[in-house]
Structure 1
């Protein structure tokens, strides 16, 4: 039998505790110390710590419960509302910033941790969060009163475990695919780096071995699914392209050199924090990029474009350091990028490497595509399981067929 309970009622019943992050003063910052987890480091389903600020360990007692524990659920509540993740075992402790809220489930109470995590991804949460979000000139946010008033459906612990088990099977497979993707790229870079260290390697500046070196377009956005995909800087992360943040633009306004070709290299070329990110375009889908991204298309008569793409991935740290301009106006000029020298194996080794690198990248792309399909299935099943519109046994069969 399910109950409808608010977060406040669950706290009163001892099912969980929650709170926002620690509000630090400049005088408390010290490195080394306890790192601060920011909104940007919380992604949907996981955290990717890139710690910048630290709090002196002398304030550890003052931080109290705002220091992380394994099993905490973290929800971003300011700026970008609604990213949720569970803190895994084995992660060194950190303190939560004021832009996130943590939830600590009592393992013997009414709730299970995984069920609450999935509830934060459900339409039941999002419908309420959307109606409660306050807005300032800076960003959306959920305050503590908003969170206390959220109401969730609480079935028996057995049903909660079953629902989390079905959805978790999909997430587990997605995690495996992420490892395949990461390992494939790491192995490709290792093979490429080994080849570069051999005799006969060559140096070349990017402009001299490319046939296209250009910024993208100023898009005229369209909502039609038939129009051309246009990538923006959010699409480039981790050396790969995600179409999730992409938009659409009118196709007839895009000239041929700015239509992407398989094995093009894309470089984020403006903005603090994103400038210098590099990705390879490995799709045959019709697409272009906006003016914040530079397209590098290598001349196949001079270099293998796959090997040259790996050469650029290898020097991404150098590209990230090349921006110039005032704070918030960082810019990577096309001529700067063109002058950058990359190291390449001999032409014979490039030909040998091509098939190996292509095979590794194809395996990674297959894993990514499968993950996208699994995530779509999870997001379809989640609201139906939470509302009881689909039985757990039926969902288990669907998941079994998909995995």
Structure 2
């Protein structure tokens, strides 16, 4: 039998505790210390720490419960609202920033950790969060009073565990696909490096072997689903492009050189923390990029574009160090990127290597495409299961058919 309970009621019952992050002062920053987990490091379903700021260890006692524990559920509550993840067992200790809220589920019930995590992905959460969100000139946010008032459907613990198991099976398959994609990319880079270290390597400046080396557009954004996809810096991570943070723009004024072509390389070119990230565009779909990203289109008359793309992937650590400017305003100038010397195999070896790289990239793309399908299925099943419109056994059968 399900019941409707607010977060505040769950806290009163001792089923849950929660809080916002630690509001640090500049005087408290320093190392050795505890790193601060920011909104940008919380993704949907996982944490990717890229720590910039630390709270001095001498303030450890003042942080209290705002220091992470394995099993905490974190929810971003300002800027990008609604990203949720569970802190894994092997995560380092860190302190939550004020833009992150943490939840700790009691072992006594009536709530299970995985169920609450999936609830943060449900339409029941998003409908309430959307109506409560406040807005400043800077960002959307949920305050603590908003969170206390959120009401969730709470079935029996057994039913919660069964629902989480069905959804978790899809997430497990998605994780396997992500490992397949990561392994394929690692193998491709290893093959590329091996070929580059063989006889007759070629040194070339990026600009000398490119037909296009240009920043993207200043987009006029559109909400129409048929308009042109425009990528931003958040779309580029781990050498690949994610369309989740992408937006739409009016296509009429986008000139042909700035319409992406397969095997273009995209380089984040502004800002601390994102500057220098490199990704290959492997899609045939119509898209462009905003002005914070540089498009590198290699000239096939001079170089194999796939091999050259791998050369830039390999050079990412060097590119990340090339930015110039004041804190928060760092820029990667076109001339800097154009003058970067990359090492390539000989043209003969490039021709031999290209089919192997293409095969590995295709394997990765197929795995990631399957993950998108599985994620869509998970998000479809989630509200049906939580509202009791679909039996767990029926959902299990659907998952089996797609696994």
TM range (shorter): over 0.9
**Residue 289 of structure 1 corresponds to which residue in structure 2?**
289
What residue is the counterpart of 2:100 in the other structure? 100
Greater mean alpha carbon deviation, residues 226-235 or residues 108-117: 226-235
Question: 1:64, 1:42 → 2: CA distance?
Answer: 21
What residue in structure 2 maps to residue 177 of structure 1?
Answer: 177
Unaligned runs of 5+ in 2: none
Contact 2:195 2:345 in 1 (8 A): yes
Question: Which residue does the alignment assign to 1:204?
Answer: 204
Aligned counterpart, 2:166:
166
CA drift at 1:140: 2.0
Q: Which residue of 2 aligns with 1:228?
A: 228
Aligned equivalents of 2:30 and 2:270: distance in 1? 31
Which residue number in structure 2 is paired with residue 140 of structure 1? 140
For the residue of structure 2 that corresponds to 1:23, the secondary structure is: coil
Shift of 1:144: 1.7
Cα distance, 1:304 vs structure 2:
1.1
Tell me how far apart the structure 1 counterparts of residues 199 and 33 of structure 2 sit (CA, whole Å).
46
5+ long unaligned stretches in structure 1: none
Residue 345, structure 1, aligned to residue 328, structure 2 = no
Aligned pairs for 1:45-194 (under 5 A) are 45-194=45-194
> 1:58 & 1:273 partners in 2: Cα distance?
27
The 1-side partners of 2:270 and 2:305 are apart by 24
| 3-state SS of paired residue (2:101) | strand
**Cα distance in 1 for residues equivalent to 2:26 and 2:219:** 42
Distance verdict in 2 for CA 1:219–1:134, change over 3 Å: closer
TM-score, L = length of structure 1? 0.95
Q: Secondary structure at the match of 2:294?
A: strand
Alpha-carbon distance change, 135 to 308 in structure 1, aligned in 2, over 3 angstroms: same
Larger mean Cα displacement after TM superposition, 202-211 or 323-332: 323-332
Paired residues in the alignment total 403
3-state SS in 2 of match to 1:31: coil
Equivalent positions of 1:13-52 (< 5 A) are 13-52=13-52
- Give 1:175 shift: 0.9
Structure 2 equivalent of residue 381 of structure 1: 381
Contact 2:85–2:117 (Cα < 8 Å) also in 1: yes
Task: Give the C-alpha shift of residue 271 in structure 1.
Answer: 3.2
- Alignment correspondent of 1:246: 246
| Aligned partners of 2:228 and 2:249 also within 8 Å | yes
Deviation at 1:220, TM superposition (A): 4.1
Instruction: Give, in whole Å, the separation in 2 of the partners of 1:144 and 1:212.
Output: 49
Task: Give how far 1:291 is off.
Answer: 2.8
**CA–CA separation in structure 2 for the residues paired with 1:172 and 1:91:** 19
How far the C-alpha of 1:252 sits from its partner, in A, is 4.1
- CA shift, 1:46, in A, is 0.5
Superposed CA deviations along residues 72-97 of structure 1, whole A, max 9, x for unmatched, are 11111122211110011121221212
Asked if 1 retains the 8 angstrom alpha-carbon contact of 2:220 and 2:250, the reply is: yes
Matches of 2:223 and 2:108, distance apart in 1: 48
The whole-number CA distance in structure 1 between the counterparts of 2:8 and 2:223 is 41
Alpha-carbon displacement from aligned partner over 1:223-257 (angstroms, at most 9, x marks no partner): 44443333222222221112223333344433332
**Any residues of structure 2 matched to 1:355-394 within 5 Å, and which?**
355-394=355-394
The whole-number CA distance in structure 2 between the counterparts of 1:391 and 1:250 is 43
Alpha-carbon spacing, 1:97–1:248, altered in 2? closer, same or farther (3 Å): closer
2:202/2:343 contact within 8 Å kept: yes
Contact 2:266/2:280 (<8 A) preserved? yes
Which deviates more from structure 2 when the two are superposed, residues 339-348 or residues 247-256? Answer: 247-256
In the other structure, the counterpart of 2:264 is 264
Equivalent pair of 2:31/2:57 in contact (CA under 8 Å): no
> Which residue of structure 1 lines up, in the alignment, with residue 315 of structure 2?
315
SS in 2 for 1:368: helix
More moved, 251-260 vs 120-129? 251-260
2:265 equivalent to 1:303 = no
DSSP-derived class of the 2:31 partner:
strand
Q: Distance in 1 between matches of 2:140 and 2:256?
A: 40
How far apart are the structure 2 equivalents of 1:268 and 1:368? 22
Q: Give the Cα–Cα distance (whole angstroms) in 1 for the partners of residues 259 and 142 of structure 2.
A: 41
State the secondary structure of the residue aligned to 1:153. strand
